[in-house]
Structure 1
Amino acid sequence: MTDQPDAPNGCPVAHGGGDLTRLYGPEAAIDPHGIYARLRKEHGPVAPILLEGDVPAWLVLGYRENRRVLDNPRQFTRDSRIWRDWTEGRVDNASPLMQMVGWRPDCVSQDGEPHRRLRGAVTDNLQAVTGRGIRRHVTHFANKQIDAFADAGSADLVADFAEYLPMLVLTRVFGLPQGEGRTLAESCAQVIKGGAEALVHNDRIVRILGELAERKRLEPGSDFTTGLMEHHADLDEDEVLSHLRLVLIAAHTTTSNLLARVLQLVLTDTTRLAGLVSGQLNISAVVEEVMWNTPPLTVLPGRFATADLELGGHRIREGDLLVLGLNAGNVDPEIRPDVGVSVHGNQSHLAFSGGPHECPGQNIGQAIIETAVDVLLHRLPGLRLAVAPEELTSTASTWEARLDRLPVEFAA
């Protein structure tokens, strides 16, 4: 075990910033993968870093270390009420980080029996939604999106397609007015991005969802919102609202990002594109590859050590915050010495998290992406990338790296 002079907590260097790497800001937005590689070289599979506001944390880079944290809620809880920097007043409730790691009465913030009770309500209703024609909703909204640019012969498949399509589907799933889709998509993006506006956008999401819950109490329907309210787990008003917020933000931001990355991979490889168009390649194989190499969440918030322990050669103290490097873990040279080797058929990636808190909405995201890509390829003959692949850029926040644009051309 290494006695680290720059451990995140209990150290003057950490709370004053010192030389710790910031996982936010201009450098992190441009080259997060370079930062992960440097941290791995300097610190091993676990590294001390600073989050927004120079808040200290541990970034878990190793695949095995990520699995240990995800699979052991008794050692690494999701309940942030034991987070020492918060309990001792170094992080207040107005911090943008609280939108991502702060405690709420939802299944993500709890472990054990409370988690099982609340997660059961979510998973039961997500399964019910999936059985009510989710692919039909995706086909409807994908065609509407494409109608807006089909005659132009060109489009940006990020701004014109991937960025809003999942939210349009979710408005139907939740029982929301379709007109709320763009506003909610923009606010979800800002909450994940962080910064001064995160709290304002979170309040907007909560207000819209609170109004939705009030309507559904008076006019129930066959939607996810009504299902949560009527579930036998007997969720109270705060629990219903917290889960509506949780599912909306998580489902939209991850699916929109994943859809853009799948389209990027398809359009920068003519062999894959031809295989999909001809039916010789299954889109699920492309999604699987993206899950390994560019997962929609690059870093997952957060876990809190329940006792002093050792992880990756470092001393972790009770109440320390750990964030999970899903992308870094997926390309850990200990398990993938050659990232160019095919991962087809291997679903042990970290993209959906893992353990008791593994993403319960995987099937819905998969259905949205598979259907959206299928509709797009059939609607736009001659679809091709309009720029050289190396001209495509991404912008990262602490938690994700999003494709900036995906310009394409096709037969009008």
Structure 2
Amino acid sequence: MNDQPESPLQAPRGCPVAHHAAELTRLYGPEAATDPGGIYERLRKEHGSVAPVLLEGDVPAWLVLGYRDTRRVLDNPRQFSRDARIWRDWTQGRVEESSPLIPMLGWRPDCVSQDGEPHRRLRSAVTDGLQAAAVRGIRRHATHFANKQIDAFAATGRADLVTDYAEYLPMLVLSRILGLPEAEGRDLVESCAQVLKGGEDALAHNDRIVAILGALAERKRTEPGGDFTTALLGHAAGLDEEEVVSHLRLVLIAAHTTTSNLLARVLQLILTDTARLSGLISGQLNISGVVEEVMWNSPPLAVLPGRFAAGDLELGGHQIQEGDLLVLGLAAGNVDPEIRPDTGVSVQGNQAHLAFSSGPHECPGQGIGQSIIEIAVDVLLHRLPGLTLAVPPDELTSTASTWESRLDSLPVEFPA
């Protein structure tokens, strides 16, 4: 007889999972869009470091809120697999193929969806390709496109640094890295944002991204260049066509959304703190320290999808069952009172944050993202002396989805 307590995610035999929906907190909807931090803290008080929640479509999951438990999940792929083919709600038909969760959680032939040797084979192609791209001049590309974006509004004396700068600059640099025409890169900004946002349009935008990148891969087979796409096509790991396109998609979505979000938050912190702004302008403060602070307090992905329990186990005092979905609260883990009892204490020089994940699936392109942000801030401050926030700081708003919280706008003014 099994006397273990039943998982809140596992419905009794013959009873649909939706039966328990009223008892669980939703990570989507109006409250989640405006106060995700409040939800995380309420769940921490009610359930501890791990809490049962519902994702879009009332799909059940465990939200890991504790720093140490998040590290345990990320660092142990044998217990917590990235392979969605063992996701019980998927295998038992409780998640529709049209679910907006599929672009973020569904299995595809990329390194993020696999563990062990398949993961190592595919990741080697990604890391080698990104390293080659970095050698070819990320900072030069970032400088070029930062100046080009600023040229578009420098004469007006006003701008929104979210929609005019942070949303497009990372995508333009990534387009150059991948070998995409600039116009196609600009067109993909909205589609990448919609995949993270979720909702009924997420799948259509995901399909659009895949179609554009599929055409790119076809072009590069006959017209190779010094770009990431060509590097994937010719790598010794021998990626097939579907694997190449899947990794182009992975790099494009992950790198653009996280870098644009992080850049917006860094600019927000600088412009709402005159001491930081003057320190950067005078050279007394290093931008990398500001980026580090934001990665602790406002990581670009608030919730990381997803891991799947490879067997029955205990986590955070809860019984997790084989096939359960776990999503990782990076924002909540970074402010876990057990490791940061006082979030006002400086984190300068402390790189133990969760913003880039951890373990075998730690972000391989973090250096590229940081380079883009450092150049973006440096060029902006030198091009626009006298840059100030155009509204009171408390008027700045954010909108959250399940996975991230994005700054809505950052209006500024400066001498034209």
- The bucket for the TM-score relative to the shorter chain is over 0.9
Q: How does 1:11-410 map to 2 (within 5 A)?
A: 11=12, 12=15, 14-16=17-19, 17-410=21-414
* Distance in 2, Cα, partners of 1:13 & 1:171: 45
8 Å CA contact 1:155, 1:408 repeated in 2 = yes
* Distance in 2, Cα, partners of 1:408 & 1:6: 49
Shift of 1:130: 0.5
Shift of 1:8: 1.4
* Distance in 1, Cα, partners of 2:166 & 2:321: 41
Shift of 1:181: 1.7
8 Å CA contact 1:6, 1:20 repeated in 2 = no
Q: How many residues align?
A: 411
* Distance in 1, Cα, partners of 2:326 & 2:102: 14
CA offsets, 1:87-127, max 9 Å, x none?
00001221111100100000000000000010000001101
Question: Which amino acid is the alignment partner of residue 135 of structure 2?
Answer: G
8 Å CA contact 1:9, 1:15 repeated in 2 = no
8 Å CA contact 2:220, 2:230 repeated in 1 = yes
* Distance in 2, Cα, partners of 1:319 & 1:372: 42
Which residue of structure 2 aligns with residue 9 of structure 1?
Answer: 10
In the superposition, the TM-score normalised over structure 2's length comes to 0.97
CA offsets, 1:132-176, max 9 Å, x none?
111111111111100111011111000100011100111111111
* Distance in 2, Cα, partners of 1:26 & 1:245: 29
In the superposition, the TM-score normalised over structure 1's length comes to 0.98
* Distance in 1, Cα, partners of 2:312 & 2:96: 24
* Distance in 2, Cα, partners of 1:45 & 1:3: 19
Q: CA RMSD in A?
A: 1.2
Question: Which amino acid is the alignment partner of residue 52 of structure 1?
Answer: E
Unaligned runs of 5+ in 2: none
CA offsets, 1:24-66, max 9 Å, x none?
0111000000000000000000000000000000000000000
Q: Which moved more, 1:89-98 or 1:263-272?
A: 89-98
Distance 1:118 1:6, change over 3 A: closer
Unaligned runs of 5+ in 1: none
8 Å CA contact 1:295, 1:326 repeated in 2 = yes
Shift of 1:182: 2.0
8 Å CA contact 2:130, 2:228 repeated in 1 = yes
Question: Which amino acid is the alignment partner of residue 18 of structure 2?
Answer: H
* Distance in 2, Cα, partners of 1:146 & 1:375: 9
Shift of 1:4: 6.1
* Distance in 1, Cα, partners of 2:164 & 2:102: 31
8 Å CA contact 1:63, 1:329 repeated in 2 = yes
Shift of 1:9: 1.9
Question: Which amino acid is the alignment partner of residue 15 of structure 1?
Answer: A
Secondary structure, counterpart of 2:23 in structure 1: coil
Q: Which moved more, 1:257-266 or 1:12-21?
A: 12-21
* Distance in 1, Cα, partners of 2:7 & 2:251: 36
Secondary structure, counterpart of 1:336 in structure 2: coil
Question: Which amino acid is the alignment partner of residue 122 of structure 1?
Answer: V
Shift of 1:13: 8.1
* Distance in 2, Cα, partners of 1:42 & 1:68: 21
Shift of 1:325: 0.2
* Distance in 2, Cα, partners of 1:126 & 1:245: 14
Q: Which moved more, 1:91-100 or 1:244-253?
A: 91-100
Identity rate of aligned residues, in percent?
Answer: 78
* Distance in 1, Cα, partners of 2:10 & 2:400: 26
8 Å CA contact 1:8, 1:15 repeated in 2 = no
8 Å CA contact 2:7, 2:320 repeated in 1 = no
Shift of 1:15: 2.1
Secondary structure, counterpart of 1:18 in structure 2: helix
8 Å CA contact 2:7, 2:318 repeated in 1 = no
